[in-house]
Amino acid sequence: MTKISTTGISSGHEPEKALWMSTLAFTICFAVWTIFAIIGVRIKQDLGLTEAQFGLLVGTPILTGSLVRIVLGIWTSRYGGRLVYTLTMFASAVATFLLSYATTYPQMLLAGLGVGLAGGSFAVGVAYISPFFPPQKQGTALGIFGAGNVGAAVTKFAAPFVLLAWGWQAVAQIWAAALVVMAVVFWFTTTDDPAYRDRREKGAAPRSLAQEFAPLKNAQVWRFCLYYFFAFGGFVALSLWLPRYLVGVYGFDLAVAGMIAAAYSIPGSIFRAFGGMLSDKKGARSVMYWMFGVSAVSTLILSLPVGVTPMVFIVVVFVLGFVMSLGKAAVYKHIPVYYPESVGAVGGVVGMVGGLGGFILPIAFGLLKDATGLWSSCFLLLFAVVAVSLIWMHVSIKQMDRRGLSVSAVAAT
C-alpha cells in the first residue's frame, strides 16, 4: 500500500507505524506533562501552599510546553520529527527525574519548567505525522494522534497509587523512566517523514523564518488560536484542577478524585479521533458549532453559585470533556489544509496558545476562588471564553458569506 501526501510519498506501513508510535509517545509525554495534577496536591499539603500557588505549580509545566511548541515545530520542519521527538523525550525525562530531588517551592517551579518540555511534543507530532497522509485523511490521523491526551488519565489512574505506596518522588522517577524507554523505542521503530526526506535528498535550503511565520498575518490563524485556547487549554486546565475541585467541593479523598478526573480525561482524549473523522466527513465548521453550543450550556450549568449535586456535576463535566475532544480535532483539521507549507509554525502557534490556556486558566481558577470564595467561578470564566469564541466564529462566517465565498472554500473554517 502506498500513501501520498502533499509533500512526499510514503510506502508500505510507514504512515501507520509513524502514527501509532507517535500517539503512544505523546500519551506518555502527556502523562508526564500533567504529573502535578496528582503529586501537586501532596506537595501543596507538604508546603502549605495557597490555591493561587497551587495553580502556578500545576501550570508551570504547561507554560514551558506551550512556549516551546513554536521552536519545536520549526525544528521539526528543519531537522525531522524523528530526531526532534526523541531528543524532546530525553530532555523532559531528565527534568522529571531531577524533580524528585526538589525540596522547596522555587526548586519545584524550576523543575516544572523542564518537565513541561514533554508538552512541546504535540507540535513535533503534528508536523511529523501530517506529511505521511493526504489532506482528506489528515483530520482523522491528527485526531488519532491527539487522543494521546489520554495520558492525563494514565497519570490520574496510576499516580495516586504509586504516591500512596512510595511517595510522590517515586511517581516522578517512574514517569521519567517510562519516557526514556519510549524515546529509545520510538527512535528504532520509526522513519523520517516524507517532507523531511524530500528536502534532505534534494538538498533544499530550509525556509526562512519570515516564510514560516508569514501566515500569522491572517486573523484566521488567531481565531483558530482562541478556539484551541478553550478546547485544549480548557481541557488541560480542568484535567489539572478537577482533583483539587472534587476534594474541596465534595470532600472526596485524593484517590477517588483522581479516578473521577481520569474518567473525565478519557472521553476528552479518545474521542478526539472521532472528532477528526467527523471533521473529515462533515466539515470542521459544523463540529465547532456543536462544540461551542454544548460547551456554553454545560459551563453555564456548572457555574451556578448554588452548586450542583456530585452526580449532576460528573455527568455534565463528562459531556463537556466529550465535546471539547471533538473541538480539539476540528481546530487542527484546518492547519495542514490551509497552511501545508507552514504546518510547523502555524501548528506551533495554535498549540502554544492552547497550551497557554492550560497554564493561565488554572492560575485564574485559583485567583477567582481566593477572591470570591466560589469554587464554581472557574466555570463562569470558561463560559465567557466560549461565548466570545462562538460570537467571533459566527461573525467571521457571516462576513465570508457576504463576500461570496463558496461553502466548499470555507467548509473547514
> What would the grid cell of residue 34 be?
500533567
- Residues sharing a CB contact under 8 Å with residue 413, sequence separation 6 or more, in sequence order: 220, 284, 285, 334, 396, 397, 400
**Does residue 90 fall inside a structural domain?**
yes
Which candidate, 261, 259, 374, places its Cα nearest to that of 317? 261
Task: Identify the pLDDT of residue 179.
Answer: 96
Question: For residue 44, what are the CA distances in angstroms to 36, 51, 53, 63, 236?
Answer: 10, 9, 8, 19, 19
Q: Give the Cα separation of 407 and 139 in Å (integer).
A: 19
**Does residue 1 fall inside a structural domain?**
no
> What would the grid cell of residue 113 be?
519548567
Q: Give the Cα separation of 339 and 18 in Å (integer).
A: 21
Which residue segment(s) compose the domain that 236 sits in? 15-193+216-410
- Is residue 338 exposed (0-12), middle (13-18) or buried (19+ Cβ within 10 Å)? middle
Task: Identify the pLDDT of residue 405.
Answer: 55
CATH number at residue 353: 1.20.1250.20
> What would the grid cell of residue 316 be?
455534565
Q: Give me the phi and psi of 11, to 5 degrees please.
A: -110, 165
The neighbouring-strand residues paired with 4 are 9
Q: Is 10 left (phi over 0), alpha (psi -120 to 50) or beta?
A: beta
**Does residue 200 fall inside a structural domain?**
no
- Is residue 154 exposed (0-12), middle (13-18) or buried (19+ Cβ within 10 Å)? buried
**Does residue 234 fall inside a structural domain?**
yes
Question: Based on the structure, what is the number of domains in the chain?
Answer: 1
**Does residue 337 fall inside a structural domain?**
yes
The neighbouring-strand residues paired with 110 are none
**Distance separating the N- and C-terminal Cα atoms of the chain:** 31
Task: Identify the pLDDT of residue 93.
Answer: 95
**Does residue 341 fall inside a structural domain?**
yes
**C-alpha neighbours within 13 Å on the C-beta side of residue 283:** 10
Dihedral sign for Cα 27, 327, 245, 372, please.
positive
Task: Identify the pLDDT of residue 206.
Answer: 67
Distance, C-alpha 68 to centroid of its chain? 13
**Does residue 144 fall inside a structural domain?**
yes
Q: Give the Cα separation of 149 and 358 in Å (integer).
A: 13
Nearest 5 degrees, angle CA 240-CA 275-CA 18? 85
- The alpha-carbon radius of gyration of the chain (Å, integer) is 20
- Residues sharing a CB contact under 8 Å with residue 106, sequence separation 6 or more, in sequence order: none
The SS3 call for residue 341 is: coil
Q: Give me the phi and psi of 9, to 5 degrees please.
A: -125, 135
Distance, C-alpha 188 to centroid of its chain? 26
Task: Identify the pLDDT of residue 275.
Answer: 85
**Does residue 369 fall inside a structural domain?**
yes
Question: For residue 101, what are the CA distances in angstroms to 54, 61, 96, 149, 221?
Answer: 19, 17, 10, 27, 41
From the first residue on, what is the mean pLDDT of each consecutive set of 10 residues in the chain (413 residues)? 39 81 94 88 86 80 85 84 94 94 91 92 88 81 84 84 90 95 94 80 69 77 92 86 87 83 74 84 86 95 84 90 89 78 77 84 87 91 95 86 56 47
> What would the grid cell of residue 390 be?
462562538
Task: Identify the pLDDT of residue 407.
Answer: 41
